[in-house]
Amino acid sequence: MPLARHITAEKPEDKIIETGWARVHNIVVFILENDQFLKPKLNSELITEIIKRFGVDDETALTYISEAKREVRRVAKLKKDKAFAKAIRDREFIIAKAKADEDYKLALDAIKDRDKLLSLYDEVKPQEITVKNIDMNRFTEFGLERIKHGDKIEEILLDPKSVKQEQRDL
């Protein structure tokens, strides 16, 4: 049911007419004060609380809650976007200041940090090699170099240049 149908309070004798959007705002404040209500599994308790507070039916309470959660997500995204823009501006200021002071190490660090924030580079994590029960005497110098560079051990064992000839025949 659209929120427009719930614009005024149910009791016309109320001195203060509370609009649907004012109720949604009150629910937003309530959710932000009690952030556990953002979890979907607590929707039934939130609906019960809204029914008690405003004296509305289940469907109206659900409409208010969905609008309030939508508003919470919108505000959170705006805050995140503003924080991201501020972080980039801060990095740009540090870069400009470091270049002016000819502190190139600081400038390079700030540039790397800014680029990491912008996700310009894929983060490459070094791979750990776990070798169990493999005699290193089986490998040629070329094979040992491949191990050192992180090539897969299965590929190295299949490469004739990487394994000593007498060991391959076994």
pLDDT of residue 50: 87
Residue ranges making up the domain that contains 32: 3-72
pLDDT of residue 162: 87
Residues 55 and 29 in one domain: yes
pLDDT of residue 18: 53
pLDDT of residue 123: 66
Prediction pTM value: 0.48
Is 131 inside a domain boundary?
A: no
Number of structural domains in the chain:
3
pLDDT-flagged residues of the chain (< 70): 1-19, 123-132, 167-170
pLDDT of residue 55: 87
DSSP the chain: --GGGG-S-S-TT-SSPPPHHHHHHHHHHHHHHSGGGGSGGGHHHHHHHHHHHH---HHHHHHHHHHHHHHHHHHHHHHHHHHHHHHHHHHHHHHHHHHHTT-HHHHHHHHHHHHHHTT-SPPPPPPP----S--GGGB-HHHHHHHHTT--HHHHHH-TTTB-HHHHT-
What's the rounded Cα separation, in Å, for the pair 18 and 52?
Answer: 15
pLDDT of residue 96: 92
Is 127 inside a domain boundary?
A: no
pLDDT of residue 11: 53
Is 148 inside a domain boundary?
A: yes
Residues 13 and 67 in one domain: yes
Is 89 inside a domain boundary?
A: yes
Residues 8 and 68 in one domain: yes
